[in-house]
Amino acid sequence: MKCEKLLEGLSFQCIRGSVDREIKEVVYDSRKISEGCLFICICGYNVDGHGFAEEAAMKGAAAIVVQKDVELPADSDITVIKVEDTRYAMAHIAAAYFGHPADRLKVIGITGTKGKTTTTYLIKSILEKAGYHVGLVGTIETIIRDKHIPANNTTPESFLLQQYFKEMEEAGCEIVVMEVASQGLKLHRTQGFTFEIGIFTNLEPDHIGPNEHADFEEYLACKGLLFKQCRLGIVNRDDAHVDALLKGHTCELETYGFDKAADIHAENLQLVNKPGELGIAFEVKRKEKEESFRVEVPAPGRFSVYNALAAIAVCEHFKVEQSQIINALLKVHVKGRIEMVPVSDQFTLLIDYAHNAMSLKSLLTTLREYQPKRLVCVFGCGGNRSRIRRFEMGEVSGNYADFTIITSDNPRFEKPQDIIEDIKTGINKTSGRYMEICDRKEAIAYAIGHGQPGDIIVLAGKGHEDYQEIEGVKYPMDERVLIADICRELKADSDV
């Protein structure tokens, strides 16, 4: 492909060589530099690609894209393209390199502090029930028909995202539903195409700190970028930040929520409490229309209603029948997101990804609505992360759970017991009862073995993760596997 073709629509300066030359491939990883390639110099948090410009020239790269001045051998035959931001440029170059696949797909993007993952799976489930082929990009994985690719980032780098779009198109997908993280928007990973629909779930302070967002205002502004990159925005009317988030939006808008002024809203909520399963049922109504229909979601709480409403609002734009929506919502389960694991008819056990104070409080207050005999919380905190998070999560569990079992999460390069001591600092500010069991399997075994009729036991923090990271090594550890092993061991003990 010609270099000038890859640069169409971009503002740039050709400060050396000519754009009228053939490009064999596009790369942004210095380890993949090859003869005839176009190398994009990305400013990473740990490594600056501009430091490999000379290496690119020496290896015979045809062109490099830069946003800074670089030194090159005087005799090297290389084209140098200068742009304002190489990440922004990479998104457009990648789209061109893969033939603009998103132009032939209906891409649905979901942003917000909570609910992104669950809502993507709800939408995928409903649309597939209606006969569509749907690709998915998110925190847990990327799904291309039967192919499942574990995720490293919620929103992949723009080059990888465009590659996924191309593979999805070739696999026969018609629609893509994806999580759009604020960091992905900030780093221009979703430039180079227009979303068919953008969804906003909710906004609370999160991801603020070094290498993320400077403050809440920047976090909010980055979330709002989605609504300058989509044709239709479907937003949570009930969220306190929605008006600020939508400032300067360029899309058409629809709203959802509990507010009856929302275009689609929920009424007549009913908690569903079955043996080993919690859920919620409600009426779905359209503003200024008399007819409604009732749905049930096998996940607890008001936030489950919000997620379902967003999914319903999207799927109505694809002419999905109400019966298909109802059936799909009844059956969808998302790994690690309020995931019920059947172990007993006497109590409920669930796994959730809640790994900060805000999400843990939301989870525990939601479960409290189901009036359990006891609400038992098993959790730990990650190593090499803010100690404040540990104090806060300890305090939340002490205040909102009846009993806490403090255990290990991903200790990384810290000692698990040091992390536990920090959690205890927080929980000791409360009157909450707790015990500590450092080994996570032993902690889960204790919770299950001492489960009482009417209990709700939540394993928080790991969610979809199937590993435990210790001193730089990820060891296999899937809580579903642990639970199955524990149940077999308990049964074997009872048979003796």
**Which of 160-169, 266-275, 403-412 is predicted least confidently?**
266-275
172 & 240 share domain: yes
Last residue of a domain, one of 307, 331, 355: 331
User: What does the pLDDT average to over 185-203?
Assistant: 95
Question: 108, 195 in Cβ contact below 8 A?
Answer: yes
| Res. 198: pLDDT tops 90 | yes
% of the chain with per-residue pLDDT over 90? 89
147 & 77 share domain: no
| Res. 377: pLDDT tops 80 | yes
pLDDT, position 245:
94
238 & 112 share domain: yes
User: What does the pLDDT average to over 358-382?
Assistant: 96
How does the average pLDDT of the chain come out, rounded? 94
pLDDT confidence tier of residue 206, bands split at 50, 70 and 90:
low
Question: 363, 463 in Cβ contact below 8 A?
Answer: no
pLDDT, position 316:
94
| Res. 212: pLDDT tops 80 | no
Domain of residue 461, CATH code = 3.90.190.20
% of the chain with per-residue pLDDT over 70? 98
User: What does the pLDDT average to over 183-198?
Assistant: 95
170 & 218 share domain: yes
| Res. 256: pLDDT tops 60 | yes
Closest CA to 192 of 289, 313, 90, 297: 90
Residue 352 pairs in a beta bridge with: 460
Closest CA to 263 of 330, 316, 301: 316
Residue 421 pairs in a beta bridge with: none
From CA 191, how far away is CA 174, in angstroms rounded? 20
211 & 322 share domain: yes
Distances (CA, A) of 215 to 223, 237, 282, 292, 386: 13, 23, 37, 41, 16
| Res. 496: pLDDT tops 60 | no
Last residue of a domain, one of 331, 348, 383: 331
246 & 168 share domain: yes
Question: 460, 447 in Cβ contact below 8 A?
Answer: no
User: What does the pLDDT average to over 36-57?
Assistant: 94
Closest CA to 109 of 252, 218, 231, 245: 231
pLDDT, position 209:
56
> Tokens 């953008």 sit at which residue?
198
From CA 219, how far away is CA 205, in angstroms rounded? 8
265 & 289 share domain: yes
pLDDT, position 124:
97
Angle at 241 between CA 260 and CA 354, to 5 degrees: 95
pLDDT confidence tier of residue 208, bands split at 50, 70 and 90:
low
177 & 317 share domain: yes
Angle at 147 between CA 141 and CA 150, to 5 degrees: 25
Residue 22 pairs in a beta bridge with: 2
From CA 260, how far away is CA 263, in angstroms rounded? 8
* pTM for this prediction: 0.91
Question: 311 Cβ partners below 8 Å, 6+ apart?
Answer: 119, 122, 123, 126, 329
Q: Is 39 left (phi over 0), alpha (psi -120 to 50) or beta?
A: beta
pLDDT confidence tier of residue 166, bands split at 50, 70 and 90:
very high
272 & 347 share domain: no
Under DSSP, is residue 89 helix (H, G, I), strand (E, B) or coil? helix
pLDDT, position 33:
97
Domain of residue 117, CATH code = 3.40.1190.10
User: What does the pLDDT average to over 410-415?
Assistant: 96
User: What does the pLDDT average to over 464-492?
Assistant: 95
Q: What are phi and psi of 348, to 5 degrees?
A: -110, 130
> Tokens 């740990």 sit at which residue?
46
310 & 228 share domain: yes
pLDDT, position 276:
79
276 & 191 share domain: yes
Residue 36 pairs in a beta bridge with: none
317 & 220 share domain: yes
| Res. 207: pLDDT tops 90 | no
Q: Per the structure, how many domains does the chain have?
A: 3
User: What does the pLDDT average to over 124-139?
Assistant: 96
Distances (CA, A) of 454 to 119, 277, 386: 29, 11, 35
Domain of residue 15, CATH code = 3.40.1390.10
| Res. 55: pLDDT tops 90 | yes
| Res. 214: pLDDT tops 90 | no
Last residue of a domain, one of 67, 97, 127: 97
From CA 120, how far away is CA 136, in angstroms rounded? 7
Q: Which residues of 59-90 are buried (b: 16+ CB within 10 A; e: fewer)?
A: bebbbbbbbeebeeeeebebbbbbbeebbbbb
Q: Are strands 79-82 and 13-16 parallel, antiparallel or unpaired?
A: antiparallel
| Res. 141: pLDDT tops 60 | yes
What are the residue ranges of helices labelled H in 8-115?
53-58, 86-97
User: What does the pLDDT average to over 67-79?
Assistant: 94
By residue count, the chain amounts to 496
Q: Summarize pLDDT for 296-325 with one digit per residue, the tens.
A: 999 999 999 999 999 999 999 999 999 999
Q: Summarize pLDDT for 263-302 with one digit per residue, the tens.
A: 999 999 999 998 778 999 999 999 878 889 999 999 999 9
From CA 303, how far away is CA 425, in angstroms rounded? 30
User: What does the pLDDT average to over 228-244?
Assistant: 96
pLDDT, position 239:
94
pLDDT confidence tier of residue 218, bands split at 50, 70 and 90:
confident
> Domain residues for 170?
101-331
